[in-house]
Amino acid sequence: MEKFHQDIRKAARMIMQSENAFAFTGAGISVESGIPPFRGENGIWNKYDPKSLDLNYFYSNPLESWAVIKKIFYDFFGEARFNRAHEVLAMMEKQGYLKGVVTQNIDNLHFEAGSRVVHEFHGNMKKLVCTKCHQHFMVHMVSLENLPPSCSYCEGLLKPDFVFFGENIPYEAFTSSFSLAEKADVVIVVGTTGEVVPASHVPLTAKQQGARIIEINMEPSNYTHTHTDVFLKGKASEVLHHLFIAMNHE
Protein backbone atom coordinates (compact mmCIF):
# COMPACT_ATOMS: atom_id res chain seq x y z
CA MET A 1 0.00 0.00 0.00
CA GLU A 2 2.88 2.35 0.85
CA LYS A 3 4.32 1.73 -2.65
CA PHE A 4 0.92 2.61 -4.20
CA HIS A 5 0.83 5.95 -2.33
CA GLN A 6 4.45 6.71 -3.25
CA ASP A 7 3.57 6.06 -6.89
CA ILE A 8 0.47 8.26 -6.62
CA ARG A 9 2.62 11.13 -5.27
CA LYS A 10 5.21 10.56 -8.01
CA ALA A 11 2.50 10.62 -10.71
CA ALA A 12 0.92 13.74 -9.16
CA ARG A 13 4.29 15.56 -9.33
CA MET A 14 4.82 14.45 -12.94
CA ILE A 15 1.45 15.89 -13.96
CA MET A 16 1.92 19.13 -12.01
CA GLN A 17 5.37 19.71 -13.50
CA SER A 18 4.24 18.90 -17.04
CA GLU A 19 3.49 21.46 -19.71
CA ASN A 20 1.63 19.33 -22.22
CA ALA A 21 -0.11 16.44 -20.50
CA PHE A 22 -3.17 14.68 -21.88
CA ALA A 23 -5.22 11.59 -21.04
CA PHE A 24 -5.78 8.61 -23.33
CA THR A 25 -8.79 6.54 -22.28
CA GLY A 26 -10.41 3.22 -23.18
CA ALA A 27 -13.41 1.11 -22.26
CA GLY A 28 -12.08 0.52 -18.70
CA ILE A 29 -12.83 4.10 -17.60
CA SER A 30 -16.56 3.55 -18.27
CA VAL A 31 -16.85 0.11 -16.64
CA GLU A 32 -17.83 1.71 -13.33
CA SER A 33 -20.56 3.59 -15.20
CA GLY A 34 -22.06 0.21 -16.06
CA ILE A 35 -20.72 -0.07 -19.62
CA PRO A 36 -18.87 -3.36 -20.09
CA PRO A 37 -15.69 -3.55 -22.18
CA PHE A 38 -15.72 -5.40 -25.52
CA ARG A 39 -13.18 -8.03 -24.58
CA GLY A 40 -12.61 -10.27 -21.55
CA GLU A 41 -14.88 -12.44 -19.46
CA ASN A 42 -17.78 -9.98 -19.18
CA GLY A 43 -17.06 -8.38 -22.53
CA ILE A 44 -19.80 -7.48 -25.03
CA TRP A 45 -18.36 -9.83 -27.67
CA ASN A 46 -18.95 -12.78 -25.36
CA LYS A 47 -22.66 -12.13 -25.76
CA TYR A 48 -23.05 -10.61 -29.21
CA ASP A 49 -21.52 -11.27 -32.61
CA PRO A 50 -19.13 -8.41 -33.57
CA LYS A 51 -20.09 -8.79 -37.27
CA SER A 52 -23.03 -6.40 -36.64
CA LEU A 53 -20.43 -3.65 -36.47
CA ASP A 54 -18.70 -4.66 -39.69
CA LEU A 55 -19.33 -1.99 -42.30
CA ASN A 56 -19.97 -4.39 -45.22
CA TYR A 57 -22.29 -6.55 -43.13
CA PHE A 58 -24.16 -3.42 -41.97
CA TYR A 59 -24.78 -2.26 -45.57
CA SER A 60 -25.94 -5.69 -46.73
CA ASN A 61 -27.96 -6.52 -43.58
CA PRO A 62 -29.08 -3.18 -42.09
CA LEU A 63 -32.06 -4.62 -40.21
CA GLU A 64 -30.10 -7.46 -38.52
CA SER A 65 -27.21 -5.10 -37.69
CA TRP A 66 -29.49 -2.42 -36.28
CA ALA A 67 -31.36 -4.93 -34.09
CA VAL A 68 -28.08 -5.80 -32.31
CA ILE A 69 -26.78 -2.19 -32.28
CA LYS A 70 -30.02 -0.96 -30.69
CA LYS A 71 -29.88 -3.63 -27.99
CA ILE A 72 -26.24 -3.00 -27.05
CA PHE A 73 -25.81 0.73 -27.48
CA TYR A 74 -29.24 2.27 -27.01
CA ASP A 75 -31.33 -0.09 -24.82
CA PHE A 76 -28.50 -1.50 -22.73
CA PHE A 77 -26.06 1.33 -22.00
CA GLY A 78 -27.76 4.39 -23.37
CA GLU A 79 -28.61 5.69 -19.88
CA ALA A 80 -25.12 5.33 -18.34
CA ARG A 81 -23.83 8.30 -16.30
CA PHE A 82 -20.23 9.51 -15.99
CA ASN A 83 -18.26 8.41 -12.92
CA ARG A 84 -15.59 9.92 -10.66
CA ALA A 85 -12.82 9.02 -13.15
CA HIS A 86 -14.38 11.10 -15.96
CA GLU A 87 -15.03 13.88 -13.47
CA VAL A 88 -11.41 14.01 -12.23
CA LEU A 89 -10.07 14.27 -15.79
CA ALA A 90 -12.48 17.15 -16.45
CA MET A 91 -11.28 18.91 -13.28
CA MET A 92 -7.61 18.40 -14.20
CA GLU A 93 -8.33 20.09 -17.52
CA LYS A 94 -10.13 22.95 -15.77
CA GLN A 95 -7.17 23.43 -13.40
CA GLY A 96 -4.86 23.67 -16.43
CA TYR A 97 -3.03 20.38 -15.92
CA LEU A 98 -4.45 18.56 -18.96
CA LYS A 99 -4.58 19.75 -22.55
CA GLY A 100 -7.46 17.36 -23.18
CA VAL A 101 -8.56 13.77 -23.58
CA VAL A 102 -8.12 11.40 -26.50
CA THR A 103 -10.74 8.70 -26.03
CA GLN A 104 -11.41 5.43 -27.82
CA ASN A 105 -14.84 5.40 -26.17
CA ILE A 106 -17.99 6.36 -28.00
CA ASP A 107 -20.19 6.89 -24.95
CA ASN A 108 -20.01 10.73 -24.69
CA LEU A 109 -19.25 10.50 -20.93
CA HIS A 110 -16.13 12.73 -21.00
CA PHE A 111 -18.21 15.60 -22.42
CA GLU A 112 -21.02 14.91 -19.94
CA ALA A 113 -18.50 15.07 -17.06
CA GLY A 114 -17.36 18.54 -18.20
CA SER A 115 -14.24 17.90 -20.30
CA ARG A 116 -14.00 20.52 -23.06
CA VAL A 117 -11.25 19.18 -25.33
CA VAL A 118 -12.20 15.59 -26.19
CA HIS A 119 -10.90 13.92 -29.35
CA GLU A 120 -13.23 11.01 -30.02
CA PHE A 121 -11.04 8.66 -31.98
CA HIS A 122 -13.88 6.23 -32.71
CA GLY A 123 -16.75 8.71 -32.97
CA ASN A 124 -19.82 9.10 -30.75
CA MET A 125 -22.86 6.85 -30.31
CA LYS A 126 -25.18 9.77 -29.39
CA LYS A 127 -25.19 10.90 -33.02
CA LEU A 128 -26.46 9.19 -36.16
CA VAL A 129 -25.33 10.02 -39.68
CA CYS A 130 -27.17 9.55 -42.97
CA THR A 131 -25.17 7.22 -45.21
CA LYS A 132 -26.57 9.01 -48.29
CA CYS A 133 -26.69 12.79 -47.62
CA HIS A 134 -24.36 12.81 -44.53
CA GLN A 135 -26.78 14.84 -42.42
CA HIS A 136 -26.26 14.31 -38.65
CA PHE A 137 -29.03 13.68 -36.11
CA MET A 138 -28.97 13.40 -32.31
CA VAL A 139 -30.12 9.88 -31.55
CA HIS A 140 -32.80 11.01 -29.08
CA MET A 141 -34.47 12.91 -31.94
CA VAL A 142 -34.84 9.73 -34.02
CA SER A 143 -37.31 6.92 -33.43
CA LEU A 144 -35.72 3.50 -33.17
CA GLU A 145 -39.11 1.79 -33.08
CA ASN A 146 -39.01 0.82 -36.77
CA LEU A 147 -35.62 -0.47 -37.80
CA PRO A 148 -33.52 0.39 -39.68
CA PRO A 149 -34.02 4.15 -39.09
CA SER A 150 -33.96 6.39 -42.15
CA CYS A 151 -33.08 10.01 -42.88
CA SER A 152 -35.96 12.50 -42.63
CA TYR A 153 -34.45 14.51 -45.54
CA CYS A 154 -33.53 11.91 -48.16
CA GLU A 155 -34.71 8.56 -46.70
CA GLY A 156 -31.15 7.21 -46.77
CA LEU A 157 -30.08 4.60 -44.21
CA LEU A 158 -28.97 6.06 -40.84
CA LYS A 159 -25.83 4.70 -39.17
CA PRO A 160 -24.49 5.38 -35.67
CA ASP A 161 -21.74 8.00 -35.98
CA PHE A 162 -19.06 5.74 -34.53
CA VAL A 163 -16.35 3.84 -36.31
CA PHE A 164 -17.32 0.37 -37.55
CA PHE A 165 -14.86 -2.40 -38.35
CA GLY A 166 -13.50 -1.62 -41.80
CA GLU A 167 -14.14 2.12 -41.52
CA ASN A 168 -11.59 4.98 -41.39
CA ILE A 169 -10.89 7.03 -38.27
CA PRO A 170 -12.52 10.50 -38.52
CA TYR A 171 -9.86 12.84 -39.98
CA GLU A 172 -10.22 15.63 -37.40
CA ALA A 173 -9.98 13.30 -34.38
CA PHE A 174 -7.03 11.45 -35.92
CA THR A 175 -4.93 14.53 -36.68
CA SER A 176 -5.77 16.33 -33.40
CA SER A 177 -4.92 13.23 -31.34
CA PHE A 178 -1.53 12.70 -32.96
CA SER A 179 -0.76 16.40 -32.80
CA LEU A 180 -1.37 16.31 -28.98
CA ALA A 181 0.82 13.18 -28.77
CA GLU A 182 3.70 14.80 -30.64
CA LYS A 183 3.83 17.72 -28.20
CA ALA A 184 3.12 15.78 -25.00
CA ASP A 185 5.47 15.39 -22.04
CA VAL A 186 3.09 13.22 -19.93
CA VAL A 187 0.26 10.86 -20.94
CA ILE A 188 -2.21 9.39 -18.45
CA VAL A 189 -3.37 6.11 -20.03
CA VAL A 190 -6.60 4.84 -18.43
CA GLY A 191 -8.41 1.52 -18.85
CA THR A 192 -7.22 0.28 -22.21
CA THR A 193 -5.57 -2.93 -23.37
CA GLY A 194 -3.78 -1.02 -26.16
CA GLU A 195 -4.88 -3.62 -28.68
CA VAL A 196 -6.91 -1.49 -31.06
CA VAL A 197 -4.85 -0.04 -33.91
CA PRO A 198 -4.28 2.81 -34.86
CA ALA A 199 -5.63 4.28 -31.57
CA SER A 200 -3.02 2.36 -29.57
CA HIS A 201 -0.29 4.29 -31.43
CA VAL A 202 -1.31 7.59 -29.81
CA PRO A 203 0.53 6.98 -26.48
CA LEU A 204 3.34 5.20 -28.33
CA THR A 205 3.92 8.29 -30.48
CA ALA A 206 4.06 10.46 -27.34
CA LYS A 207 6.52 8.05 -25.73
CA GLN A 208 8.76 8.11 -28.82
CA GLN A 209 8.88 11.92 -28.56
CA GLY A 210 10.04 11.66 -24.94
CA ALA A 211 6.75 11.75 -22.97
CA ARG A 212 6.41 9.76 -19.76
CA ILE A 213 3.48 7.38 -19.34
CA ILE A 214 1.36 7.09 -16.20
CA GLU A 215 -0.94 4.09 -16.57
CA ILE A 216 -4.10 3.26 -14.60
CA ASN A 217 -5.58 -0.20 -15.07
CA MET A 218 -6.80 -3.18 -13.06
CA GLU A 219 -4.48 -5.45 -15.09
CA PRO A 220 -1.26 -5.02 -17.03
CA SER A 221 -1.82 -4.00 -20.66
CA ASN A 222 0.24 -3.98 -23.85
CA TYR A 223 1.95 -0.82 -22.53
CA THR A 224 2.71 -1.80 -18.94
CA HIS A 225 5.99 -3.66 -19.24
CA THR A 226 7.38 -1.85 -22.26
CA HIS A 227 6.25 1.79 -22.16
CA THR A 228 4.73 2.67 -18.78
CA ASP A 229 6.81 4.73 -16.33
CA VAL A 230 4.37 4.61 -13.41
CA PHE A 231 1.75 1.85 -13.21
CA LEU A 232 -1.13 2.58 -10.84
CA LYS A 233 -3.08 -0.64 -10.40
CA GLY A 234 -6.74 -0.32 -9.51
CA LYS A 235 -10.16 0.91 -10.56
CA ALA A 236 -10.03 4.08 -12.63
CA SER A 237 -12.39 6.04 -10.35
CA GLU A 238 -10.48 5.18 -7.16
CA VAL A 239 -6.99 5.73 -8.57
CA LEU A 240 -7.89 9.03 -10.25
CA HIS A 241 -9.57 10.20 -7.06
CA HIS A 242 -6.36 9.54 -5.07
CA LEU A 243 -4.28 11.22 -7.76
CA PHE A 244 -6.49 14.30 -7.69
CA ILE A 245 -6.28 14.55 -3.89
CA ALA A 246 -2.47 14.20 -4.04
CA MET A 247 -2.24 16.93 -6.70
CA ASN A 248 -4.28 19.30 -4.62
CA HIS A 249 -2.25 18.71 -1.44
CA GLU A 250 1.31 18.75 -2.88
By CB under 6 A, tell whether 28 contacts ligand NAD.
yes
By CB under 6 A, tell whether 203 contacts ligand NAD.
no
In whole angstroms, the minimum distance from the beta carbon of 195 to ligand NAD comes to 5
Cβ closest to ligand NAD, residue 151 vs residue 177: 177
Interacting residue with ligand NAD among 65, 105, 124, 177 (CB under 6 A): 105
The b-or-e profile of 20-36 (16+ CB within 10 A means b, else e) is bbbbbbbbbbbbbbebb
By CB under 6 A, tell whether 79 contacts ligand NAD.
no
186 pairs with which residues across the strands? 21, 212
Q: Is 136 a catalytic residue?
A: no
**Residues 217 to 236 in contact with ligand NAD, rule: CB under 6 A:** 217-219, 221, 235-236
| 167 close to 185: Cβ distance less than 8 angstroms | no
Interacting residue with ligand NAD among 9, 16, 20, 39 (CB under 6 A): 39
User: Considering 110, 119, 122, 242, which one is annotated as catalytic?
Assistant: 122
Stretches 1-9, 35-43, 131-139, 150-158: which one binds ligand NAD (CB under 6 A)? 35-43
* Three-state secondary-structure class, residue 63: helix
Residues 6+ apart with CB under 8 A from 175: none
Give kind and range of the element (H or E) at residue 127: strand 123-130
**Residue of 12, 199, 218 whose CA lies nearest to 120:** 199
Interacting residue with ligand NAD among 12, 31, 101, 247 (CB under 6 A): 31
In whole angstroms, the minimum distance from the beta carbon of 19 to ligand NAD comes to 26
Residues carrying an active site annotation: 122
